[in-house]
Structure 1
Amino acid sequence: MGAIGAGMLMVALAGCGGENTNGGPTSPARTTAASSSSDAGGSDASGGASDAGGADSDVRTKGLPPENEALKAPDKTDYLGISYPTDQGAQATARYFIDAMYYGYATGDTGPLESVTDHASCVECTELINDIHSWRDEGKYLTPARVKLDDEWTVDKSEDLTKTEYWFTVDELQIRRQDSSIKTVAKTQTASAFHLAFEDGAWVVRACRWEKADGLQE
């Protein structure tokens, strides 16, 4: 991916405690939000449950179809290096965050997403979690998605933060309520940027942002 794209996205995220100024239909919260797995390392629908979530019916959307009900939470053990204070660990956490977001919109379960969120600083994370809860209350969900890794890299590092980008593509999805189709979401490539900190032996997201990648290409 071009350096211009990386620079634009990170400049937009710089200094944030993190307002998402993108919003609207190009935000993962509104378009590509559900999850079965990531080609970058998430577990598939038959994989093990996460230590942060799982298939607890009390935190899931009621009346899910079988393909959504069968989804398991992304398993951190499938994300190589996620427990270590390295660039690889930060990138793995970004992938896990995106997979957990997709899983959340497909099931209503936000446990995995919350497990890698700095609740005190990540405004975007809180908005995502609240939005998933709203979907769950409305009986709305996203069809299962597979995330395809396009590129990822570390942009910058300091003593406190690692800044990384993760570009991914998700095929066409549908937003549904029970068995009725509400909206079709076209195949989209997304560029996401994360500020992450390694705290108490684990990575957490302090801020994040995303844009449709076709608007950032050089």
Structure 2
Amino acid sequence: MAKAKAPQTQPAKTHAKAPAAPARPKPAPAPKAPPAPAEDPVFGPLWERFCAEANFNPETLELEASVIREEIAKLQERVAEKQSELDAITHREKTARDKMTALLKVGFSPEAVLSAMKVEFRGKKAAARVKEKEVEVGDDEKAAVLDVLDREGQPLSEVVKHTGRDPKDIQRVLTALVADGKVNTQGERKAKLFMLA
């Protein structure tokens, strides 16, 4: 008998190696921050003196900020009220038309409807604002008021008392000084204080 031929074995396939990925370059070191400049030796003592003499401290600043926050809150409330009024005016024509339609459907006579409508929806004339006559404030008047003010703050009554002037005149001078940036205010109305800027 003839011997069976043994199956020929194929040589194992060799897988080619993938090329190695190039090495990532190392990031450049971050530049060093420049050294902080040395503080002027005069600055520290001068700053402390300034804070003491000008009453410049966190407590005072926070007090001033709280007053402004209160004023802003009141203004926002006022704006909301005016916005509500504006919305009502904007929709007043439609409201009036709906009202007249409803009154006519109920059976009121035209004259009765007209009378009722005129009472409820009469147009309001905006009051013309009279611009106050600007009166110039003299330097002598300003100097007299500045002489009695301090950085702690004084109410209008105290300024009037020290100057012996009419309250309206003092109010006019103080308003001019505030506009000049020479006087600051704190509080509102009767609680308002005037102080040197």
Larger Rg: 2
Superposition TM-score tier, normalisation by shorter sequence: under 0.3
Bigger relative CO (Cα 8 Å, ≥ 6 apart): 1
Structure 2-normalised TM-score?
0.20
